[in-house]
A and B are shown apart, each in its own frame.
Chain A
Amino acid sequence: MLSLIAKRLGIGLITVLAVSIIIFLGTKILPGDAAELRLGQSASAENLAVLRERLGLDKPYWQQYLSWLVNFVQGDMGNSLSGDTPISGLIADRYQNTLIVSGLTALIGVPISVALGVMAAMFPGSTYDRVLTFTSVTLVAAPEFFTATLLVLFFVLFLGMGSTIVSGSTDGMGLFELIQHFALPITTLCFVIASQLIRMSRAAVLNVMASPYIEMAILKGIPRRRIILRHALLNAIGPIVNVIALNLAYLITGVIVVEIYFSYQGLATLIVQGVQTRDFVLVQSLGMIFCATYVVIMLIADIAAILANPRQRHPK
């Protein structure tokens, strides 16, 4: 088993490296170079040369890539082009904001969605199951800002709580104020991950329900609830863990839209600002952080699936 996990870790590392090459080359696809893009058509040759030298654009691509990667790993991401401030400083302020929102979403959204999905699998074809399936299909088709808009209308206008702008510090807030502060972005994100999660965990349990040992248990006369909880759920854990990780990875995209929607000061608002101001150095670093997180979550899913499945735990 250990060798299997070590192999996955190795693959993960190679993936991160290869992804970093793509992210790096992504900003090199223009025929001109970034210095021209920033200074505009009318820039003088000396100015261009100075900026090129400062950004290291006069060196060959592989040298630029290597120095970028080495500095990135050491936590030095260079200075942002627009404000000329160190990027690591900009990120440090906002990293925990994003982490709080996505962490809370995972903590609240995942257990509820999985429970709802398993319950739907307990009573397939019932009204509850149908309503849930219909709702989740609708939500999959709708963009994040559809859910956000509906929630704003509902929370802010009908209940009079929550706010369409979630910014400012949370210092000195009581529990109720904190809930009000984070209610909307977190509920939106929960809906975003819930639709997939409910459907997939339902499907995972139903899939196991079709196997012979479950039929045996039914024939023995074991109550349905007990069959699901003791026999089916344990065997469905592998696929469910996988789906959870996939959806947490999807959260990375969802969080971008939601942060912008509620003007929340996190990493996502930073990367969008970076794109708007054409600050590709900033976008590169942030993109790399998002991608590395994505790959790591996928890796955890793989390893969890190995650990959850006895057949993979003891390979022949």
Chain B
Amino acid sequence: MTRPSFATLVGMIITSLFILAAIFANVLAPYGLAEIVGDAWEPSSSEFLLGTDSIGRDLLSRMIYGGRTTILVAAAATAVSFLTGSILGFTAAVVGGWFDQILSRFVDLVMSIPPLILALVILSVMPTTIVVLIVVMGLLDSTRVFRLSRAVAVDITVMDYVEAARLRGEGTVWIVFREILPNALSLLIAELGLRFIFAVLFISTLSFLGLGVQPPAADWGGIVKENKDGLVYGISAALMPTIAIAVLAISVNLVADWALNRTSSLKGGRGA
């Protein structure tokens, strides 16, 4: 096993800081989520470290709570996408035949629609609750996971040990969970990071458009939307959440890169 590089370590540390901040939001945030504590857009001071937002709420507190919402929603959507995507992908590879054909063509079709557009169409008739958002984002993203896990599983199903399991008379479920899953896991974990970043960007975009997390709850995309009018007056409140999104995305990316290099060196591919 290779030692993680400096960049990977930085990525890991920053990612864990974000996760810790999300978990301990209640302890860390100096003020409440929707508590109005000062005037609109006060500059940063010892009282309000990042200043206040468009209606006088403490920006730092909102950023911390917003991070919790963003990370939670993105993580849940990624979980939905991996559960559906990988199980269906593995099953399609193992079962093959018309089951595989129908699923694959359907996924091709959904992938020929920009995910944001499809999400807009669905959200125009669905209530915008957190659960709906998670499920819609997760299912839309599961098409990508399906493709990857099917491709990986197709390679694995021709292995001798899968053949042996079939000859032993094991069922599809057993083969998927006991033979395919352990062998595909390392690649999937590397992909996990990338899908998570995509989910963060997706929920932030939806909230920025006003169609994601609804006020007074906060997430980073929503905070940008609330504060972007202040930019004209030189108030950079809207910049904070965008920086947070970018930093989180880059640090998760660094970790995912490392995971990807590790798995491919295990398989004798491009090593790190």
In the complex, whether B20 has a CB less than 8 A from a CB of chain A is: no
| Minimal Cβ-Cβ distance residue in A for B105 | A18
Given contacts A138-B250, A261-B228, A276-B211, contact A290 B125 (CB under 8 A): no
Task: Across the interface, name the chain B residue whose C-beta is closest to A261.
Answer: B228
Question: When A141-B197, A272-B211, A287-B120 are in contact, do A34 and B125 touch as well, CB less than 8 Å?
Answer: yes
CB distance from A51 to the nearest CB of B (A): 14
* A272 close to B117 (CB less than 8 A): no
- Encode B85-114 as 1/0 by CB contact (under 8 A) with A: 000000000000000000000000110111
Given the contacts A15-B109, A145-B224, A260-B209, A279 and B124 also touching, CB distance less than 8 Å: yes
Residues of chain B contacted by A279 (CB below 8 angstroms): 124
Most buried by A among B113, B229, B243: B113
B interface majority secondary structure: helix
Q: Does B116 contact A (CB under 8 A)?
A: yes
- B121: CB under 8 A from chain A? yes
Check: A100 CB closer than 8 A to any chain B CB. no
Q: Is A185 an interface residue (CB 8 A)?
A: no
Binary contact readout A1-39 vs B (1 if CB under 8 angstroms, 0 otherwise): 000000000000001001100110011111000100100
Bound-complex Cα distance A18 to B204 (A): 29
In whole Å, how far is A302's beta carbon from the nearest beta carbon of chain B? 12
Complex Cα distance, B221 from A15, in Å, reads 33
Does B236 contact A153, Cβ atoms closer than 8 Å? yes
Q: Judge if B126 is at the interface, Cβ distance under 8 Å.
A: yes
B118 at the interface (CB under 8 A from A): yes
Per-position contact with A for B226-241: 1 when CB-CB < 8 Å, else 0? 0011011010101100
Q: Residues of A contacting B236 with CB < 8 Å?
A: 153
Provide the bound-state CA to CA distance between A28 and B124, in Å.
11
Indicate with 1 or 0, residue by residue over B197-211, a CB within 8 angstroms of chain A CB atoms.
Answer: 100010011001111
Partner of B120, one of A22, A137, A144, A283: A283
B contact residues, total (Cβ < 8 Å): 41
Q: Which of B112, B120, B245 contacts A272 (CB 8 A)?
A: B120
User: How does the 8 Å CB contact mask read for A30-60 relative to B, with 1 for contact and 0 for none?
Assistant: 1000100100000000000000000000000
B242 within 8 A of A: yes
Query: Across the interface, which residues of B come within 8 angstroms of A144, CB to CB?
Result: 205
CB of A214 closer than 8 Å to a CB of B: no
Does B50 count as interface, using CB distance less than 8 angstroms?
no
Please state if B253 and A26 are interface contacts (CB–CB under 8 Å). Answer: no
A284 within 8 A of B: yes
Is residue B13 within 8 Å, beta carbon to beta carbon, of the partner chain? no
Binary interface profile of A, 217-253, with partner B (CB < 8 Å = 1, else 0)? 0000000000000000000000000000000011011
Say what secondary structure dominates the interface of chain A.
Answer: helix
Bound form: Cα–Cα A274–B112 in Å:
22
Q: How many residues of A contact B (CB 8 A)?
A: 51
Cβ of B205: which chain A residues have Cβ within 8 Å of it? 143-145, 257
Q: Which of A71-79, A201-209, A291-299 contacts B (4 or more CB under 8 A)?
A: A291-299
Nearest B residue to A152 via CB reads: B231
Contact of A149 among B109, B123, B231, B234 (CB under 8 A): B231
A-B CB proximity, top 5 nearest: A141-B249, A146-B242, A142-B246, A283-B124, A26-B121
- Which B residues have a C-beta under 8 Å from some C-beta of A? 109-110, 112-118, 120-126, 197, 201, 204-205, 208-211, 221, 224, 228-229, 231-232, 234, 236, 238-239, 242-243, 245-246, 249-250, 253
The 20 sampled A-B contact pairs (Cβ below 8 Å) are A22-B110, A22-B113, A22-B118, A141-B197, A141-B253, A142-B249, A143-B201, A143-B204, A143-B208, A149-B228, A153-B236, A164-B228, A250-B114, A253-B116, A272-B210, A274-B124, A275-B211, A291-B117, A294-B113, A294-B117
- Residues of A in contact with B (beta carbons under 8 Å apart): 15, 18-19, 22-23, 26-30, 34, 37, 137-138, 141-146, 149-150, 152-153, 156-157, 164, 249-250, 252-253, 256-257, 260-261, 271-272, 274-276, 278-280, 283-284, 287, 290-291, 294-295, 298
